[in-house]
Structure 1
Amino acid sequence: RTDPLTGLNNVRSFEFEFNKAKNKLEKSNENFSIMILDIDHFKQVNDQYGHLEGDLVLKKLAEILKMSQNSNDIISRNGGEEFSVLLNDCNHKEAYEKANALRKIVENSFFILQNGFKSIHITISIGITTYNDTTIKFDNIYDHADQALYLAKNSGRNKVCSYSQVIDSVFN
């Protein structure tokens, strides 16, 4: 249930928490948001510094995620350099603000490599959506956040995109 590298929830734990949230929301009318984030150009970090150094970047990002989120948020490493945050009882505006604050923290952080002899900066792209706001059907929420993540990556990286922007880009 725990990712051995980062100490965050693994994908199985994410799925369990995701289904738990779905069951809870069937009985209530709360907002529920999801962030999916990905390290920009992470392959270059691994290629330039090696996978052990890349693992240090993943661990540091996990620490930043833990420090920047609320205790009731569910943070997971879904695989590779992809992470997710389930935001219980969080409306879309709050989710966007949290995602953008996280993006700025990461952008301004130093990631120490090579036994302290090298520090690098990384950026992340984040896709968000909110159940009962930008996404009406709960079963689509992960896919919609993922589509927003790809919009963020394809439109310049180091940004937050909402699923509503994906819809706007289709119709404009």
Structure 2
Amino acid sequence: MHTVTTNYRLSNWRGEFVDAATEQAFRKHSEADASRSLRRALLVWAALVVLFGLLDYPVLGHGYDFQVLFGWRLATAAVLLLLYWQVRRKPSLVSDGYAVTAVEIFGSVLFFMLYFLRHDMVSWVIAVVAISLLALFMFIPNRVYLSLLASAFLSIGLMACVAARGMGAEKVIGLGFILVLPIAVGFFTALRWQLAQRQQYALLMQVISSNRDLQDEIKRREALEAELKRQATTDPLTGLFNRRQYEMLFQRERQRCNRLGQEMTLCVMDLDHFKRINDQHGHDAGDAVLRHVAQHLCCSLRHSDVVGRFGGEEFVLILPDTGLEQAVAVLNRLREELAETPVPVRGQLLPVSATFGVTAVRQDDSDLESIVRRADRALYEGKGAGRNRVMTA
């Protein structure tokens, strides 16, 4: 929290963020709006510069003074339109501010020429300069201290013009006091506006950051909830359903099959000589075999079939919508595939076989335990008969 507060600390005299990266991000964020505002201001400025030139002709005629003044007006308008075109192509010029300031200073020269060439409107020029000083701060998007630089150039330049015409020091100083007022009003208004914009941006970024953190926390909680649910319903070693989950799925499928009049079978499967694998190759090899068998079962059976780990090397297979004969055919195919797919462990191929005990789920079966016991008896008959076979009960 302290870091966030530090990043959004503001300079009260520049009206900008102290942190350079944060300031740059703010300028990029507000670049489009500032660019549109500046382009509108440049078009209005260029139009006024040219239109007011029409007032020069009745006074100056078609003489040299008019040609110089109108030529400078056209040059000023051209520079303004050039900046308009450049800003449209590259809005970052607004954020930087130096190009805008250079054009503001260039445009100020027109007032100095008016002061010397239009003697009839000296008071009008001073009044327009005072208004222009306010406009530099309030209507032309720029950084506050750069607007202050442009306004200082315009004010000092006009005072120099007054002094050059032989006016007394008291008039020059008086003019300075007059021009300080619009500069001060414009500066503090622009400063307050710039600070307010950045404060709003800081609040917006903090809200976005908080929302992002909240979304991340929600995702973490959802992932944790999913993981807890997975752990509560699956066997951690094989990823198959645990006893609690496959019992619940069995009840659901049994009710569905009874309602639709479909057959259903249950199988208990046991890996042959699994203890020998653990004794000869270690428990890591045994775990690898269990994972291999679990993956094979999931890939070979239907999505509607339920595969669970019964315990140790035993598995429970629940086959809805499947009669006993069809189940035997499916399980024999599984048995043959397992026998033909040895498990690679530390450079060795370990053969795997399994014995299956399968039974049909009957209407009079009271619970899952009785069905499992019946399938288990068939399984042990298969082991007694030599293993690697499918037996029915």
Verify same fold: TM over 0.5: yes
Residue in 2 aligned with 1:123? 353
Describe how 1:13-32 pairs up with structure 2 within 5 A. Answer: 13-32=245-264
Describe how 1:144-163 pairs up with structure 2 within 5 A. Answer: 144-163=374-393
Q: Distance in 1 between matches of 2:308 and 2:377?
A: 18
User: Structure 2: any 5+ residue segments left out of the alignment?
Assistant: 1-232
Residue in 2 aligned with 1:75? 307
Residue in 2 aligned with 1:51? 283
After superposition, give the CA deviation of every residue in 1:115-136 in whole Å (9 maximum; x if it has no partner). xx1111011000001124xx85
**Under a length normalisation based on structure 1, what TM-score does the superposition of the two structures give?**
0.87
**Contact residue 257 and residue 321 of structure 2 kept, 8 A:** no
Q: Distance in 2 between matches of 1:46 and 1:118?
A: 14
Q: Distance in 1 between matches of 2:247 and 2:272?
A: 24
2:323 to 91, 107, 112: 91
**Contact residue 14 and residue 78 of structure 1 kept, 8 A:** no
AA paired with 1:124? A
AA paired with 1:162? T
AA paired with 2:385? S
Say if 2:364 is the partner of 1:141. no
**Contact residue 131 and residue 138 of structure 1 kept, 8 A:** no
Please state whether the residue corresponding to 1:8 is helix, strand or coil: coil
How far residue 154 of structure 1 moved from its aligned partner, in angstroms, is 1.2
AA paired with 2:321? D
After superposition, give the CA deviation of every residue in 1:15-62 in whole Å (9 maximum; x if it has no partner). 111222333344342100111100001000000011011000000001
Higher share in helix: 2
Please state whether the residue corresponding to 1:149 is helix, strand or coil: helix
**Contact residue 22 and residue 138 of structure 1 kept, 8 A:** no
How far residue 145 of structure 1 moved from its aligned partner, in angstroms, is 1.0
**Contact residue 100 and residue 160 of structure 1 kept, 8 A:** yes
2:297 to 37, 40, 65: 65
Q: Distance in 1 between matches of 2:376 and 2:389?
A: 14
Please state whether the residue corresponding to 1:145 is helix, strand or coil: helix
**Contact residue 106 and residue 122 of structure 1 kept, 8 A:** yes
After superposition, give the CA deviation of every residue in 1:76-131 in whole Å (9 maximum; x if it has no partner). 111110011100110111100001000000011110112xx111101100000112
Evaluate the alpha carbon distance shift between residue 136 and residue 100 of structure 1 in structure 2; reply closer, same or farther with a 3 A threshold. farther
**Under a length normalisation based on structure 2, what TM-score does the superposition of the two structures give?**
0.39
Alignment root-mean-square deviation, CA: 1.5
**Contact residue 257 and residue 320 of structure 2 kept, 8 A:** no
Please state whether the residue corresponding to 2:292 is helix, strand or coil: helix
Structure 1 outlier segments of 4+, above 6 Å: none
Q: Distance in 2 between matches of 1:130 and 1:113?
A: 36
Say if 2:341 is the partner of 1:109. yes
Higher share in strand: 1
User: Structure 1: any 5+ residue segments left out of the alignment?
Assistant: 164-172
